[in-house]
Structure 1
Amino acid sequence: MAEKLQQPEVWLRGPLEDLPVLLQPAAFALMQTNEELPFWLKNFPKEKLWVKPAGRASVGFHLKHLSGVLDRMLTYAKEEPLSSEQFAYLKAEEAIETNLSVEQLINVFTAKVEEALTYFKTLEEHQLTESRSVGRKKLPSTLIGLLFHAAEHSQRHLGQLIATASFVKML
């Protein structure tokens, strides 16, 4: 029988204190991703971190991308421009970095989730519908739109990562 997560999903554990109720689903999704990464990547072989099955994204890419997107969405949410470091990180998301371990990459995402949750706690619900712009093209969004996208994006890449990791382990 396959190993299972030991507790109910985050959204089934009750509300989070000091967090606007409308941001609870986004927080739950980020926290769920953060909890599942070490579970699904337990004992994942470092030498398979950058394998691209059928030319698709590697587990390493997904891990780097999870952190990078969350970082960029938080920057846009705060109405700040991306820094040169963020542009460099974006460019390097697909780069193979054999010096990085699964644990190191997960730790980067964990720190970014903690930063996001801390930021969520500073917000008032009336702010969530404020306009925000995304990227160099200044595409229109809202604060809640950015934060929700960051959360659903993490869940989407978690699913892709799980499928990729499961397949690559068998190679």
Structure 2
Amino acid sequence: MMKNNQPEVWLRGALPDIPKLLQPAAHALLQSKEEVFKYTEDFPEALLWEKPAGRASVGFHLQHITGVLDRMLTYAEEKPLSKKQFEYLRNEGVENPEVKMDDLTHAFSEKVDEALKIFKNTPEAILTEQRGVGRKQLPSSVIGLYFHAAEHSQRHIGQMLVTISVLKP
């Protein structure tokens, strides 16, 4: 595994141009991004879709954290999900031999970079504005959506690490 002697991202100081209230979400997403590459380094491609004890595969976790982040960013912009997003959601965790580890890790990395650009351009004044989630338009806020995307990513990184630990020889 890749060795990193730096402290966790949240202990490295403020990120430039990210609003103060979004620093924790940005730190968590960057931590997730680092850990995705750290934990999947040298993970056998043949095990990407394995489901130990019937639990989610590494491939699912990688697809899911990318998809959730994408969906939360869409809801924060007060937009409905697109057909492409619904198709992506339906295919999360569906084994596809054409989808490789590099595809999944880089897709998440790019989505994190997109989120950070959005954070940089988000005025703190709108963070508490209400936003609806899903077809039922369940109540949330801009900051709630950003925070959920970050904490949800962290949760699945932990689950993915356990799966990797069980599967990796």
Q: TM-score, normalised by structure 2?
A: 0.97
- CA deviation vs aligned residue, 1:124-162 (integer Å, no higher than 9, x gap): 111100000000010000100000000000000000000
Whole-Å Cα distance in 1 between the matches of residues 43 and 21 of structure 2? 36
Aligned length: 169
SS in 1 for 2:165: helix
- CA deviation vs aligned residue, 1:110-132 (integer Å, no higher than 9, x gap): 00000000000111111100000
Whole-Å Cα distance in 2 between the matches of residues 5 and 98 of structure 1? 31
Using the aligned pairs only, state the percent identity.
58
C-alpha deviation, 1:4, in angstroms: 4.4
Q: Contact between 2:62 and 2:105, CA under 8 Å: does it hold in 1?
A: yes
After TM superposition, what 4+ stretches of structure 1 lie above 3 angstroms from structure 2?
none
- CA deviation vs aligned residue, 1:43-88 (integer Å, no higher than 9, x gap): 1001000000010000000000010000000000010010000000
Whole-Å Cα distance in 1 between the matches of residues 72 and 45 of structure 2? 29
SS in 2 for 1:86: helix
C-alpha deviation, 1:19, in angstroms: 0.9
Whole-Å Cα distance in 2 between the matches of residues 3 and 126 of structure 1? 39
Q: TM-score, normalised by structure 1?
A: 0.96
C-alpha deviation, 1:3, in angstroms: 6.7
Are 2:133 and 1:134 aligned?
yes
Map of 1:44 onto structure 2 = 43
Map of 2:167 onto structure 1 = 168
Q: Please, which runs of 5 or more residues in structure 1 have no aligned partner? A: none
